[in-house]
Amino acid sequence: MKHIVSIVNYYNTTPFLYGINHSGFKSQINLELDIPSVCAQKLKSKQVEIGLVPVAILPELESYQIITDYCIGAIGKVDSVKLFSERPLHELTHILLDYQSKTSVTLVQVLNKHFWKKNIQFVNASEGFENQITGTTGAVIIGDRTFGLISHPYQYDLAEEWQNFTGLPFVFACWVSNVTLEDNFINEFNNALSYGVNHIKESVSEKPNHALGDKALDYLKNKISYNFDADKRKALQNFLELMSS
């Protein structure tokens, strides 16, 4: 029986999808494309067995395994997870939280509690909240909707802010399973993701992004950092500890 896999349907997963589609691995899984919050909910409710899930949900899972050497991460600016506002950070009174997110909206609250230390009220937002950025109300917006969003004078890249705070990269999402998987399956999955990460240029040629245009390759190669290395594992542990403190 094929494993059901949920992957985030943002442009930053393009290399992963390219690897899954071109390595022959896709025949082993049933793949579902979701926004991060839905991907998280599906893994929590066991509608899927594997997900590229926001790391902020890890403490909510009964049991889990991080199963690959790849993630959605950033070393410094990520360019697609930002706090947008009309006024500078020190003047903000409210921040709207993107309903599509889990990790990023948790990250902004961790940054405020431990780094910025401002008196800010956080508000869970719903569809259309992007139009409510005004005065002392800012908003965290993530993913493809940030591409070309230049109308707001103040933009704070949350991965860059995290690095300024900790000196570490950041991990937004990683591949997690809620069941025990065979070693052979995990190895083949890892190889498929590796193939995609090593063929980013080809993945962009196959799936260009009209909003990014000729910046698409730079975004995937230099803004998103896919290797789940020792520094990112350390950063993830740090983030999970700060979440609970």
162 and 179 in a single domain? The answer is no
pLDDT for the residue 25? 96
Per-residue pLDDT of the chain (245 residues; tens, 9 = 90+): 799 999 999 999 999 999 999 999 999 999 999 999 999 999 999 999 999 999 999 999 999 999 999 999 999 999 999 999 999 999 999 999 999 988 999 999 999 999 999 999 999 999 989 989 999 999 999 999 898 777 789 999 999 999 999 999 999 999 999 999 999 999 999 999 999 999 999 999 999 999 999 999 999 999 999 999 999 999 999 999 999 99
Q: What is the DSSP letter of 129?
A: G
pLDDT for the residue 193? 98
Q: Give the chain's largest Cα–Cα span.
A: 55
85 and 61 in a single domain? The answer is no
pLDDT for the residue 151? 78
What CATH number does residue 210 fall under? 3.40.190.10
pLDDT for the residue 118? 97
pLDDT for the residue 106? 97
Given 137, 166, 195, the domain boundary residue is 166
Yes or no: say if 55 and 172 are a contact pair by the CB < 8 Å rule: yes
92 and 153 in a single domain? The answer is yes
126 and 144 in a single domain? The answer is yes
49 and 108 in a single domain? The answer is no
Structural domain range at position 193: 3-74+169-244
Q: Residue 103: helix, strand or coil by DSSP?
A: helix
127 and 85 in a single domain? The answer is yes
pLDDT for the residue 107? 98
Return the axis-axis angle of helices 103-111 and 230-244, rounded to nearest 10°.
Answer: 70
User: Structural domain tally of the chain?
Assistant: 2
Distance of CA 223 to the CA centre of its chain: 12
